[in-house]
Amino acid sequence: MEIIKIFREALVLKKGGKMKAYTISSDDRLQDGIPVSDNVVLIGEEGRGRSLVSVPVIGPETDRICYAKVGMIEGKTVISPSEPDEDDRCLAVINTVGAYARNRKYDIFDINGKINFLVEGKISFGAAGRTNSGPVFLAIIHKGTSFRLNSKYSEYWYLWDGEEFTRYSRSEWEARNILETLKNGGEIEWL
């Protein structure tokens, strides 16, 4: 363990923004920070019909990352906790799988903007992993990006504005888009 400790203290990410970190799940949860367990961020699940990826966390030990720098070592992603910065991107764990619903498709839909997918794992329902499943991503999300996730009974849109995430229901998203159209010079066709 001493070697790991020395390695963690010696390794410093030289470049890259210091991004806010979030955990997003389609079962109506949007949380600040990314949980850390035994110096790794776990993406996905282990077992049949599943895929688990462990992303090392370097630097000071913590149980939750609120701001992060991301780097690559030998083609593998690493994360380091950092102090707040002015980066308008964010780092997010996106769990696309909400509560179980038969024949429901789980993924990220309707991406508008830029998302850099760094790591992908997979979770599944059922002991044999043969029921619905979907990906879990570790991703860098750029300012102005929006996307949709399915949950058991509905769907939600997420918008990263460069400072925070906002979650919208279908009707809220449609109303927001109408107001944006009007703001950008769209015209109303009066009846």
pLDDT tens, residue by residue, 107-134: 888 999 999 999 999 988 777 656 778 8
Q: Within 13 A of 155's CA, how many CA atoms are on the CB side?
A: 16
Which residue type does 134 have?
A: G
- Classify residue 184 by its DSSP letter: T
pTM: 0.83
Q: CB–CB of 83/68 below 8 Å? A: no
Please name the residue that has the structure tokens 């980066």.
87
| pLDDT computed for residue 125 by the predictor | 77
Count other C-beta atoms under 10 Å from residue 9's C-beta.
11
Rg (alpha carbons) of the chain, rounded to whole number: 19
pLDDT in tens, 15-74: 456 899 999 976 668 899 999 999 999 999 998 888 999 999 998 889 999 999 999 999
Q: What is the pLDDT of residue 28?
A: 64
Backbone angles phi, psi at 156, to 5 degrees: -130, 145
Strand partners, 44: 52
**Residue ranges per structural domain of the chain:** 16-183
